[in-house]
Structure 1
Amino acid sequence: MEESKNQKMLTEAQKARIERNRVKAMHLRESKVAISKETENGGKMIKVDGSKYVDTCGGFLINEHDLETEEEEKAAKIIKLAEDEAEDLPITYLKCIECEEEYADSYLSKHFEYSCCDKCKDLDEKHQLITKTDARNEFLLKDCDFDKREPPLKFISRKNPHKSTWAEMKLYLKLQVKARAMEVHGSEEKLREEIKLREEKREIAKVKKYNTKLNELRKTVRSTLYDKTHKSHVHEYGPSTYNKDTDEYTHVCVSCGFIETYEEM
């Protein structure tokens, strides 16, 4: 009953197609045609009189050419749908501060938000990169001057060339670091004064450290030469000499040469 109901729901064209496929399938089974290979969707690829068909294992045979055409049509529809849904994004052009020409994108703009095109880029001199450690020492900056002060300085990360297991290096655009140093110190003259002052303090600290070590060394040498068994010296004086002018007597220690002057009562 269910099968006859479904047949009534089919159109005449669908019934004719089913009948043609059934006849082809019977003809193939009777002629014992060999199956050549499986298709990607699990069907069987068979060959009849030089033409290739795909057996969907559902009572239908599909011509290979028709199948390829159908797949191409599906792909074309997907591409067209994607193109229709895609939005046209406006291109923003930037102006290079070096040559004043407009450009769409560049290395310095992408990584450092610095308006310079790739033609004018000079990483060896003018647009040199600097590590965070060197930037701190050269421009007397703190970590907060890089990350906390607005706007934070842009950087790129690179593997440490000295040892791969160490933390990655942060490379900054030296022009931007110098500009940040001017914000912190006020001017190049003040920066130079601060550098000079720190160098003087560093030299004073070095001298102080050197003197401290020298004193410690002297104490160590003295302690090794000191004879704990040595007793206090007792003078042994020779004959006394009288001085009429001062009315005093003088005698000299025969061992250490100490001179003592005294008066006789």
Structure 2
Amino acid sequence: MSEETATAAAEAAPPKSTLTTAQRSRIERNLAKAQKLREAKLVFHPYKELGNHLGDTQPEGGPSQGTSVIKVQGTKYIDSGGGFLLEQPVLPAAGATGGTGKPEDGAAPTIEDDAIAIPVVYEECLECGEPFADSYLFTNFGHSVCDKCRDNEERHSLITRTEAKAEYLLKDCDFDKREPKLRYISRKNPHNVRWGEMKLYLHSQVQKRAMEVWGSEEELVRQHEGREEKREVGKARKYNKQMKQLRMEVRSSVYTKKTHAIHEHEFGPDTYNEEEDEYTHTCLTCPYTETYEKM
């Protein structure tokens, strides 16, 4: 072999691999792991299940049961289980495929009727007039006001049951038995956690119930004034009773049961006053003195 032929053969030969033994081992391990993942088919795509609903053949290793179907505002969706919904396909009616697996021309498609209906009812806000699905006041008190228009300080403030009874002169039956029953929320007493829970009512609803009971604000004011007068009379009676008891304790030697009853004087001997020509005698049981003239 000539020198030129040897040089050409050396250039045509493939270059020797520069990979080390450790690199070759890592490559082989990664290839084996990828092959096992493909064989196990661990990743399942939701569109495979959608194909199962359409009548396609389910691949080996895929799920044997269909995913759940939900209905939102009249449209049915398939829950893929991956965080999103797929619109349910329209299936042909039974007998409309003609035995070919494809719907015939003019056949009306049908939809599976196994979905869960989720009705969505919107309420109209009394303040702004906009529709809303849910709010704090509507959930707890049945008051149709959205969260944007909620005013906790004035219009939509809360009041305890005790304060409502004192301010509007209501009874327990006005809260619990008169229809419709007033709704409330329970909260722990901030003054002492050992006490019973407070019942908080919507102030506007309590005020409306008071108008149903008393008829008008003027009547409610008159009831307050009448009860205030009775309270003052009761205080005066209590004060007089306490003062009487105090006098009895201080002057126990004078204030006896006999003096408290009808007293009959028992006079002692008469005393004659020559200058005035009068006679005087004093009761033996009390300090009463009587002066008189004899004919």
Aligned to 1:126: 155
Structure with a larger share of its residues in helix: 1
Aligned to 1:250: 278
Structure 1 residues 115-139: Cα deviation after superposition (integer angstroms, max 9, x where no partner): 1111110011111100000000101
CA shift, 1:72, in A, is 4.5
Equivalent position amino acid for 1:95 in 2: E
Tell me which of 232, 241, 251 is aligned to 2:274. 241
CA shift, 1:215, in A, is 1.0
CA shift, 1:196, in A, is 1.0
Q: 1:78–1:235: structure 2 CA closer, same or farther, 3 Å change rule? A: farther
Query: 1:250–1:259: 8 Å Cα contact kept in structure 2?
Result: no
Name the CA distance, whole Å, in 2 between partners of 1:148 and 1:86.
41
Name the CA distance, whole Å, in 2 between partners of 1:233 and 1:121.
85
Query: 2:279–2:294: 8 Å Cα contact kept in structure 1?
Result: no
Q: Does 1:184 align with 2:209?
A: no
CA shift, 1:90, in A, is 2.5
Equivalent position amino acid for 1:206 in 2: K
Tell me which of 142, 161, 179 is aligned to 2:171. 142
Aligned to 1:166: 195
Equivalent position amino acid for 1:250 in 2: E
Q: What TM-score does the superposition give when structure 1 sets the normalisation length?
A: 0.63
Segments of structure 2 that go 5 or more residues without pairing to the other structure are 1-27, 50-62, 70-77, 79-113, 257-265, 282-286
Name the CA distance, whole Å, in 1 between partners of 2:248 and 2:280.
33
Aligned to 2:127: 98
Identity of aligned residues (%): 43
Query: 2:127–2:149: 8 Å Cα contact kept in structure 1?
Result: yes
Equivalent position amino acid for 1:81 in 2: T
Equivalent position SS for 1:171: strand
Q: 1:94–1:258: structure 2 CA closer, same or farther, 3 Å change rule? A: closer
How many pairs align?
197
Q: 1:184–1:70: structure 2 CA closer, same or farther, 3 Å change rule? A: same
Q: Does 1:263 align with 2:268?
A: no
Q: 1:130–1:71: structure 2 CA closer, same or farther, 3 Å change rule? A: same
Tell me which of 237, 259, 263 is aligned to 1:208. 237
Over aligned residue pairs, what C-alpha RMSD do you find?
A: 3.6
Equivalent position SS for 1:189: helix
Segments of structure 1 that go 5 or more residues without pairing to the other structure are 1-47, 54-61, 244-248
CA shift, 1:82, in A, is 2.4
Equivalent position SS for 1:157: strand
Name the CA distance, whole Å, in 2 between partners of 1:182 and 1:128.
18
Equivalent position SS for 1:115: coil
CA shift, 1:170, in A, is 0.4
Name the CA distance, whole Å, in 2 between partners of 1:79 and 1:197.
76
Name the CA distance, whole Å, in 2 between partners of 1:195 and 1:157.
28
Aligned to 1:195: 224
Q: 1:152–1:78: structure 2 CA closer, same or farther, 3 Å change rule? A: farther
Q: 1:80–1:123: structure 2 CA closer, same or farther, 3 Å change rule? A: farther
- Runs of 4+ in structure 1 deviating by more than 6 angstroms, as ranges, are none
Q: Does 1:223 align with 2:209?
A: no
Q: 1:71–1:117: structure 2 CA closer, same or farther, 3 Å change rule? A: same
CA shift, 1:66, in A, is 4.0
Aligned to 1:38: none
Structure 1 residues 130-150: Cα deviation after superposition (integer angstroms, max 9, x where no partner): 000000010110111101111
Q: 1:193–1:262: structure 2 CA closer, same or farther, 3 Å change rule? A: closer
Name the CA distance, whole Å, in 1 between partners of 2:126 and 2:238.
50
Aligned to 1:36: none
Name the CA distance, whole Å, in 2 between partners of 1:261 and 1:49.
142
Structure 1 residues 191-219: Cα deviation after superposition (integer angstroms, max 9, x where no partner): 11111111111111111111111111111
Equivalent position amino acid for 2:274 in 1: T
Structure 1 residues 159-206: Cα deviation after superposition (integer angstroms, max 9, x where no partner): 100111111100000000010111111111111111111111111111
Q: 1:98–1:215: structure 2 CA closer, same or farther, 3 Å change rule? A: same
CA shift, 1:240, in A, is 3.9
Name the CA distance, whole Å, in 1 between partners of 2:38 and 2:163.
68
Equivalent position SS for 1:163: coil
Equivalent position amino acid for 1:82 in 2: S
Structure 1 residues 226-264: Cα deviation after superposition (integer angstroms, max 9, x where no partner): 79xxxx995684x64267xxxxx32568xx995744437
Name the CA distance, whole Å, in 2 between partners of 1:214 and 1:252.
35
